[in-house]
Structure 1
Amino acid sequence: MFCAMYIISLGFAAINYNSWGLNDYSSLTFSIVFGGAIIFILIEFICKFVIYHFRFRRVINKIKHKRVNKIVLNKYVTIFIIVLNLFTIILWYKALKNSGLGFSSFSDMMQNYRATTSYSLDSQDIIPGYLQQLAKLLTVCGYFYSFALFFNLANKTIKKADYYLCIPNIVIYIIYSILDSNRLNLLGLVGAFVIYYFAIKNVSQQHSNSVKSLFKLIVSFVIVLFVFYGIRLIVGRTGSEDTDFISYISMYVGAPVKLLDMFIKQPVSDFTVWGKETFVSINSLLRKMGFDIPKYLMHKEFRIYNGISLGNVYSAYRSWYSDFGLIGVFSLQSIFSIFYTCYYYILKKKGILNHQFAFLLYGYFSLALFLHPIEDWFYSMFVSVGTLTFIIIFAIIYKIAIKDEIYIGEKND
C-alpha cells in the first residue's frame, strides 16, 4: 500500500508537470522520496526473510490446521452501541449549532468550525470534553464493524443480519467524520476496507484472481475520490467551489510532491520546540505534565506556485525533515518501515484469520500507511497515550460485541 499510494501521488503530480514546474525538481527532494521508498522496500525484504526463515516456524506448523471462518456478532450489544453512537452524533451536531460560530447554512457552519479548530489555539470549548471521549467509541466502532463485515464477506459467510448490524455503525462514523470536517478519516477507513477485504480474501481462498482483485481495488479507489470531491463543500471547503474534479484531486493527492520540494528549497522551520511537527501528541502530553512547551498550531503554511494554490499538505517527510534533517528522515522512515513490515509478516505467519484482534488493529494503524504521501500520522498521532486508550476501547468492543467465532467445518446455529 505504501508504494501504491506514492505511485498514485506521483501520477497526479505528473499530470501537472509543466504547470507546477516539476522540471526543476531538486536532487535533495528526489533523494528523500526515492530513498524513503528504497528504505521501506529493503526493510520489508529483510524483515520478511528473517521472520520466514528464523522465527515462528514451529508456531506456524501448529496453527495451520484450524482457522476462524466467521465472526458472529452479539446483536443486543451491537444495537445498544448503535443507539449510543446515534445519541453521540445528535449531541455533537447540537454542540456545533450552539457553538456561537455564526452560520446561515450547514456548509457555512462546517467552514466556520474547520477554521476555528484548525487555525485557533482556543478551539477546545466548541465540543465538550465528554463528547470528544465518546467520539473515540465512534471511531473504534467504525473500524470494528468494518472488520467484521469484510471478514465475513471475504470468507463468503456473510448473512443479512451482518449487514443490518455493521452498516449503521459504519455510516455513523462517516457522518461523524463529516461533522468533524475531517475527510482524512474517510480515506483511512477506505484503506482499512481494502486491507481487511483483500488480505482475508487472499488467505481464505487458495486460488484468488489477482487481476480481478486489482480491478475492484481501482474501481473502489476511483469511487472514493469522487466522494472525496463531492463532499468538499459540505465539510467547509467552500474555496474550491469552482474547481473541477481532476484539478482538485491532483492538487490534494499530487501537490505534496511539489510542496515538499518547495519546502526543501525554502524551509520554514521552528526549532524552539523539539519535534514540533513530528511528535505533536507527545509534546501535548509533556505540556499537560507541566513542561514548558507552548501551544502551537499543527497546520502548515499554504504555498502558491506561479499563481496556482497548491494547499498545505507536504507528505510525512516534511515534518521529519523540518525537525530532524536528512538523517532524521531516513531514521524515522526506517522505524516506520520496521513497525509495519514486522507487524504484517509476523501476523501473516502466525495466521491472520486466527489473530483477528491484531489484524483489526493493523487495519486501524494502516491509516499512517495510507496517508504517508499526504502527511505524517504515525509519529504525530499514533505515538501517543491516546493510542493506548483506543487499543483498550478496541479490546472492550471486540470482547463484548463478538458472540462467537465459527471455525472451518463447524456449523453456525
Structure 2
Amino acid sequence: MIYVLAALLFILLVVTYFGAGQDLMHPSVLTVGAMLLCVCASMYNIKLWNMQYHANTVIIVISGMSCVSLMGIICARCKSKRKRYSLEDAEIVPQDGVYKVDKTVYGIVVCFDVLVLAWYYYIVLKTTGGGALTEMLHSFRMIHSYGVGADEAASIPGILNQCIKVNKVLAYLFVMIFLNNAIGYKEKDWKYLVPPLLFCIQTLLGSDRIYIILLAGSSVVMAYVIWHRKNGWRKNISGKYVKVAAKALMAILIFFVLAGNLIGHSSEKIADPLEYISSYMGGSIQLLDMYVQEPLHETDSGWGEETFSSVYKTVVQIQGNTPPKRHMEFRASNGVIIGNIYTALRKYYHDFGFSGVVILCSIFGLFYGIAYKKLQQERITKLMSYKLCAYCFIVHCTFYFPLDDLFFSGVISINYFSMLIYMYVVYYFLIKKPIKFSW
C-alpha cells in the first residue's frame, strides 16, 4: 500500500501544481510535494522496518492532502480585481535597490547576537556542568526538552527567551536583505549572513537542528518570491537557480548528518548516512500507520490538546502553573526505534478523528492559499517588505507538515504573535525607516 500511497500523492501533486498555476512554491504544492518526498524516503527502509502499510492510513493521508490541495487551488483560481504584482507594475521604482545597513546599526546587531549567544552558552554550561561538547549538548537537550533531571536552574531566563526571539527575527530579516541585494541587484554582501549564522550556532547549542532547516527552507521560498518580484510572475526561473537550489539541498543534508553527531542526537557512529536521513524524513510516515492501527487507548490529554498545544500551555501559565513537558510516545518497528514524530495528521486524527483531519487540513490549505495570494498581490516599490518576511517566517509549516504540525500547535500562539510584533518593530527601524548614525 505504500506504493499506492506514493502513486496517489504523485498524481495529486501534478494536479495541484497545474491547478495552482504551475507555481513551484505555492504552499499547497510545497505541502503535497513534501509529503510525497517523505513517503519515498520511507521506502528506503521497507525491509528494515518491515513496513506493511494499511488502507485506512492511506485514506487519511490522501484525504488530508486533497483538502490542502483543493483549498490551495481554489485560492489560486479565485478571480480577483488585483493581479500579481512585481516591480514591472510599480509606478515609482528606486534607481538603486541595493540596501545597505548602517555600519553602526550593523555593529550593534552583531554585538547583540554575540551577547545572546554567550549568555545562552553560559546557561548550557550552568545546566549541564560542562564536559565534552557533544555530551554537554546531549545532556542539555535531555534536561531542557524532556525534563530529565531538571530543576529550576535548568530553565532559561525570561529575558533571554525574548532576546532569542529577537535573534531569530534578525536572522530572517538579514537573510531578506542579503537575497534582495544578491538576486535583485547581483551584489553579494556576505556580512549580512553573519546574524543568521550566529542564530544557527545558538540553535545548535540548544542541541537542535530544526530551526536551521526551517530557516534554510524559508530562505528558498523568500528567494523565489524576490526573483519573481524582480522579473515578473509570468516568467520562469532559469536552470541556474535550480542548480543552486539543488546544491543548497545537498549541503543541508550533509550538514544534517554532521550536526546530528555534533549535538549528540546519534548515540552510535552513522554507518549509512542515507539510512539516517531517510529514517528522519520517512519515519513519521511509518509511525502514522502504526498509530492508526494501534492508537493510545488511555490518555489524559484534553480536547484538542495535541493540536492546540501552545494554547493549552498559555492557559496553564496564565493560571500560574508550570505546563508539563508533553512528548509523543516513541515507537519501534521490527525492533528498530523510529522515533516519536507522526506527521501533522496524527495530532488532528488523535484529537478530532477523521472529520478533524478534513476540517483542519482545509483550514490549513485555505489560510496559506490566501496568505500567498495576498503576498503576490502586494503593491511594492522595492523587493523587500514586511509581508514577505512575515510570510516566510511561517511558511515552514507547509514543507514540515509530513513530519509534524507547526501551525495549529505553533504559529497559532502568543509566542509567534509576539515575534511578528518584534519583526515589525525591527523591520521598521532597520529597513522601512532605517536608523542612521552620522559620525
Q: Report the CA distance between 1:196 and its aligned residue.
A: 1.2
CA distance in 2, matches of 1:64, 1:18: 56
The equivalent residue for 2:108 is 80
Indicate if the aligned counterparts of 2:117 and 2:202 stay in contact, CA closer than 8 A: yes
Of 344, 347, 364, 1:336 maps to: 364
Partner of 1:106: 133
- Deviation sequence 1:98-146 (CA, Å, 0-9, x none): 22x3453011111111111221285664222221111111111111111
**Aligned to 2:307, what secondary structure does the other structure show?**
coil
The separation in 2 between residues aligned to 1:169 and 1:367, in whole angstroms, is: 20
Partner of 1:408: none
Corresponding position of 2:325 = 297
State the match for 1:177 in structure 2. Answer: 203
Query: 2:68 touches 2:361 (CA, 8 Å); kept in 1?
Result: yes
Deviation, 1:171, is 0.8
Seen in structure 2, the aligned counterparts of structure 1 residues 197 and 88 have a Cα distance that, compared at 3 Å, is same
Shift of 1:172: 0.5
Structure 1 residues 148, 272: closer, same or farther in 2, change over 3 A?
Answer: same
Number of aligned residues: 397
1:11 and 1:110 map into 2 onto residues whose CA distance is 32
Distance 1:181 1:61, change over 3 A: closer
Instruction: Please state how far the C-alpha of 1:344 moved relative to its aligned partner.
Output: 0.5
Aligned to 2:231: 205
Counterpart Cα distance in 1 of 2:182 and 2:85: 28
1:44 and 2:72 matched: yes
Q: Is the 8 A contact 1:102 1:112 kept in 2?
A: no
Equivalent in the alignment of 1:376:
405
Matches within 5 A, 1:242-257: 242-257=270-285
The equivalent of 1:235 in structure 2 is: 263
CA distance in 2, matches of 1:170, 1:290: 36
Query: Alpha-carbon deviation of 1:311?
Result: 1.3
5+ residue gaps, structure 1: 406-413
* Equivalent residue for 2:254, pick from 226, 245, 248: 226
Q: 3-state SS of the aligned residue for 1:140?
A: helix
Give yes or no for contact 2:175–2:196 (8 Å, CA) kept in 1: yes
- Separation of aligned partners in 2, 1:267 and 1:296: 22
1:168 aligns with 2:197: no
Q: Percent identity?
A: 24
Conserved 8 A contact 1:229-1:248: yes
> 53-62 vs 300-309, which deviates more?
53-62
- One-letter code aligned to 2:118: I
Once residues 312 and 326 of structure 2 are traced to their aligned partners in structure 1, the CA distance between those partners, rounded to angstroms, is: 12
Larger deviation, residues 177-186 vs 116-125:
116-125
What whole-Å deviation, never above 9, does each CA across 1:353-382 have from its counterpart, x for those lacking one? 566110101111012112111111111111
CA RMSD of aligned residues (A): 2.5
What residue is the counterpart of 1:215 in the other structure? 243
Match of 1:56 among 82, 90, 114: 82
Question: What are the superposed Cα offsets for residues 284-320 of structure 1, whole Å, 9 maximum, x if unpaired?
Answer: 11112229x8833332111111112211111111111
Taking structure 1 as the reference length, the TM-score comes to 0.89
Q: Secondary structure at the match of 2:100?
A: strand
Match of 1:71, SS state, is coil
- Give the Cα separation in 1 of the matches to 2:185 and 2:86: 25
Gaps of 5+ in 2: 1-29, 435-439
Indicate conservation of the 8 Å contact 2:41/2:278, yes or no.
yes
Is 2:338 the partner of 1:313? no
Deviations 1:153-212 (A, max 9, x none): 1112425xx322x12101111101101112000110011110111221133225544444
SS of residue in 1 equivalent to 2:260: coil
Q: What amino acid is the match of 1:371?
A: Y
Contact in 1 for aligned 2:184/2:383 (Cα 8 Å)? no
Please tell me whether the aligned partners of residues 304 and 352 of structure 2 are also in contact (alpha carbons under 8 angstroms): yes
